[in-house]
Each structure stands twice: as structure tokens, then as C-alpha cells.
Amino acid sequence: MSSIIAPATLPRQRVLVVDDDPDLRASLDDALTQSGFDVSVAGDGIGLHAALAEAPHALVLLDLRLKDEHGLALARGLRERHPALPIIMISGSSDEMDRVLLLELAADDFLVKPFSPRELLAHVRAVLRRTQPAAVAAQPREPAAQLQFGDWTLDLRERELRGADGRVCALTPAEFRLLEAFVGQPGKVWTRDQLLEHTRSLETEVFDRSVDVLILRVRRKIEPNPKHPRYICTERGLGYVFAVPVTGGHASTA
């Protein structure tokens, strides 16, 4: 890897690189460090969990095929333990099914080897902008903005969805961003392209069908009867709409 680009303008954040190739680990460490990030490195799942226990991280770069381990299993475990932690998967394969499966089940983004430092930084910054906006991070925190619909409360500060009993309903980052878009503008008809823009990085190739799968997953979590949805409804030939009133603070996702 060569030709490092200018340092990041985002607040200094720590990125965890997990790859069993020491040369690639060193290259990624060098590229990220020169671009203004703090970096931790690990060669396997044990090192990954040890690094996360030692310090908070803003993002994880995780190789799909580690020696004696599969990155997808590690990513799914990470998603369960740290649902708000962004994950970018790295793979030597550009297989479409790999990308779709990873984006639907665990990852926020996907990088195919070989890639340049410029491409690496573009993906990292895009994911961080999407999950931890710089403008928000730089401002003092205010009381949580909470939006209510039906028996649910969407907490925009804590990035949590809670039921009437106060229990948290686990959402992946993509599921949260999807629901945030809908609840922020009830009654708006969203096309698949618009929803893709809100739930995926612009640098990643994605497919219309992935939005349908994502909506199906969210419906299964929030709808009393997912086969006959009352919240996220289909507008045939147009897209989807959030069809119930929302109360609480305003969240613009336009």
C-alpha cells in the first residue's frame, strides 16, 4: 500500500484492525495512523476481544477469512455484544453472495483486496460519518431525543429501540438507520434508492433486494403481525412509508 492521503479531519478515533497477515496489518496500521487515527491490531478472535476489553474503539476492520476462524462468525458475535460498533469486512473475494450476506447479517461495509490507502480511508470515513457524525461528536450532548410510535420508543442518542416494558429490542446499525429514517419522517414515501443511501455507504455496491430483506427483518421485530404490517407499509410501485403517527423530538433524515 502506498501514497497515503492527507490526515483525517474527523476527531481522533481508535480503529481495531483484525487480520492474520502481519504485513497487511502493518500496512493498514501505517495508513490509518498517518491519516490521524489511533490504531489497535490483532491477529485472531482472542486478540480482537482483548483489544475491545482494553479500550473503546470507533470501528473494527475485520478480515473475512482468518486462519482457523471465520470472520463472519466473529462479526456476528461482535454485533451481538457491541450492536453499535461499526464493522468493515475485508475479503480477497468479490463474490456477490459474500457481500450481500455480510451486509445483511453483520457488517456495515465491505472492502475487497487489493485496495489502496485512499479507498480504505474513504470507506472508514464514510462509515464513521454515518454512525458517529463528526458534528454531533464535537458538540456537548443534550438530553436524549426520543420518538414514540405505538408501543415503541426510539432513542436517537442511545441508538436504542425500547418496548412498552422498557426492554431493549436489539437492532443492527443498518436496522436502526432504516427505522430512524422512517420514524424521522412519518408519511413520507421512501424509494429503495433513498433507503439504500441511508443504510449503506456510497462506496459499497448494494442491491435493491437487500432493502426488502432489511425491512422484513425490522418488521419481524416491531410489527404485531409482520404479514400485515401497520408501521412500515408498502406503497406498491413506489417504495415504503411509515404509516402511523410519531410523537416526541423531531429528527430530520432528509
> What does each of the 254 residues of the chain score in pLDDT, given as a tens digit?
544 444 444 457 899 999 999 999 999 999 999 999 999 999 988 899 899 988 889 999 999 888 777 777 888 888 888 888 899 988 877 665 555 555 666 678 888 888 899 999 999 998 888 776 533 443 444 434 789 999 999 998 888 999 999 999 998 888 888 999 899 888 889 988 888 877 764 334 444 457 888 899 999 999 999 999 999 999 888 889 999 998 875 444 44
C-alpha cell at 7: 490526515
d(CA 215, CA 217): 5
Determine if the pTM surpasses 0.75. no
CA pair distance 211, 217, nearest whole angstrom:
10
User: Could you give the domains of the chain?
Assistant: 14-137 (3.40.50.2300), 146-248 (1.10.10.10)
Q: Nearest-CA neighbor of 41 among 23, 80, 112, 5?
A: 23
The grid coordinates of residue 66 equal 482468518
Asked if residues 204 and 109 have their Cβ atoms less than 8 Å apart, the reply is: yes
